Structure 1
Amino acid sequence: MKQLILCSQSARRKKIFTDLNLSYSIQTPNIDESEDSNEKPLDYLKRISIKKVLSICNTVPNKEATFVSSDTIVTFEDKILHKPENLEEAIRILSKLSGKIHYVHSSFYIFQKETVEIFNYDSTKVYFKSWSLNQIHNYINLFQPFDKAGSYGIQDKDGPVDKFEGSYTNVLGFPIRKFFQEIQYWKEFIIL
């Protein structure tokens, strides 16, 4: 029996898959997402996306399963800004991005045992508003962005994003435009 498995713990990716009317199940990967020394951001993005699927696919006996994973990174000055571990780190990240431009890269990896391996990603240029320390504190207190790369959510009302060039859903955490280019691998899971 064919099945689509989303390898993710992201509520935003789950919502995107649900909004796409996909029949899928979720498995949460348990992996170390630490950067390797001197690893380039896009190499990291690919490695983590693949690692998420590989951590799950061997536990699923169904040889007809299609696995999809995704990862999102925020880069500023060619360095990755991860999810903040605490309040101080969220303040530091948002202060660094205030009034500046950064990039959000979201990937997907489609895997079918012994037949298909597809990695792709999309990039979005994001312009931040210039924020005072007080505005940053208020935002963090209101939205608690500790589960978000770069310490913010593009969907947050009155958030720090001034404008962006590229895909909105890419910044949300999934590159839908690129994913649709591979529809032949997942169209059978669309609920009509």
Structure 2
Amino acid sequence: MQNFIYLASKSPRRRELLRAYGWEPQVLSDPSEPRGWFAGDEEELPGETPADYVLRTAVTKLMDGIAAKNELDDPRMDAPVLAADTVVSLEGKILGKPRDREEAARFMRELSGRTHEVRTAVAVGRSREDYRALVVLSKVTMRQISEEEIGRYVMTDEPYDKAGGYGIQGLAGLFVQSVAGSYTGIMGLPVCEAAELLKSYGAPAPALFQPMPTSSTSK
């Protein structure tokens, strides 16, 4: 069993979730990207559904991550690479990461009082020929959000690096009325499904498979 994995993602939430269950992710950087992280192919293709889009971008990030891993001089080269991407959609329309406060406010107005879909794709593999990927769908219902609340929310830093312009684990949790599906998937990594993929590559959840302490009985 191995704790170590490679992570082709800049998301601190994915990194934190993996560490919470005992994995030790090494974040790979993409030398072709000036910011050093894997952007993937984030342009939607004509006629592409949210599910097709998020699966394609996650696999693209995985392929870039595998290429970056192959450039390393690391004895742990056999460790799997994990990549993921999340997309928020409302009635089939993708809401990406807001570019500014105006767009973030528009997203929140559109989501207010309605149910939207969140899909996270996870891709795990060791090579371009050896990988597995899946998409997890969740549904989130927001309560009615006032203009004052929207104005205050978009003044924070929270909306701008997140699909749909909100983070369920942050202040936006105050707006969430109900969730159907994977809470961690909405955060950015469906842990249940990701763990099964990693287990298939010899990296089961370390927190679950730690040696059990031996009990001693007193006489």
Q: Compute the TM-score of the two structures, normalised by the length of structure 1.
A: 0.90
Q: Tell me, in whole angstroms, the C-alpha distance in 1 between the residues paired with 2:164 and 2:61.
A: 20
Confirm or deny that 1:185 pairs with 2:201: yes
- Which of 173, 178, 189 is equivalent to 1:163? 178
112-121 vs 131-140, greater mean Cα deviation: 112-121
Any idea what SS the aligned residue of 2:161 has?
Answer: coil
User: Structure 1, unaligned stretches of length 5 or more?
Assistant: none
Q: Tell me, in whole angstroms, the C-alpha distance in 2 between the residues paired with 1:36 and 1:134.
A: 36
User: Structure 2, unaligned stretches of length 5 or more?
Assistant: 29-36, 211-219
Displacement of 1:56 in angstroms is 2.5
Query: RMSD of the alignment, in Å?
Result: 2.0
Aligned to 1:176: 191
How many residues are treated as equivalent by the alignment?
Answer: 191
Aligned to 1:53: 62
Aligned to 2:34: none
Question: Quick check: which has more Rg, 1 or 2?
Answer: 2
Q: Tell me, in whole angstroms, the C-alpha distance in 2 between the residues paired with 1:67 and 1:156.
A: 28
Cα offsets for 1:86-117 (capped at 9, x unmatched): 10100111000100000111110011126631
Q: Compute the TM-score of the two structures, normalised by the length of structure 2.
A: 0.80
1:31-46 alignment runs, 5 A limit: 31-46=40-55
Q: Tell me, in whole angstroms, the C-alpha distance in 2 between the residues paired with 1:141 and 1:180.
A: 36
Aligned to 2:214: none
Amino acid at match of 1:177: C
Displacement of 1:31 in angstroms is 3.4
Confirm or deny that 1:118 pairs with 2:132: yes
Q: Tell me if the contact between 1:152 and 1:160 (Cα under 8 Å) persists in the aligned partners.
A: no
Q: Tell me, in whole angstroms, the C-alpha distance in 2 between the residues paired with 1:132 and 1:188.
A: 44
Any idea what SS the aligned residue of 1:146 has?
Answer: helix
1:31/1:121 Cα in 2 relative to 1: closer, same or farther (>3 Å)?
Answer: closer
Displacement of 1:188 in angstroms is 5.6
Any idea what SS the aligned residue of 2:132 has?
Answer: strand
Any idea what SS the aligned residue of 1:59 has?
Answer: helix
Q: Tell me if the contact between 1:81 and 1:93 (Cα under 8 Å) persists in the aligned partners.
A: yes
1:138/1:60 Cα in 2 relative to 1: closer, same or farther (>3 Å)?
Answer: same
Displacement of 1:181 in angstroms is 2.7
Q: Tell me if the contact between 1:24 and 1:189 (Cα under 8 Å) persists in the aligned partners.
A: no
User: Of Structure 1 and Structure 2, which has the larger fraction of its residues in strand?
Assistant: 1
44-53 vs 54-63, greater mean Cα deviation: 54-63
Q: Tell me, in whole angstroms, the C-alpha distance in 2 between the residues paired with 1:11 and 1:164.
A: 22
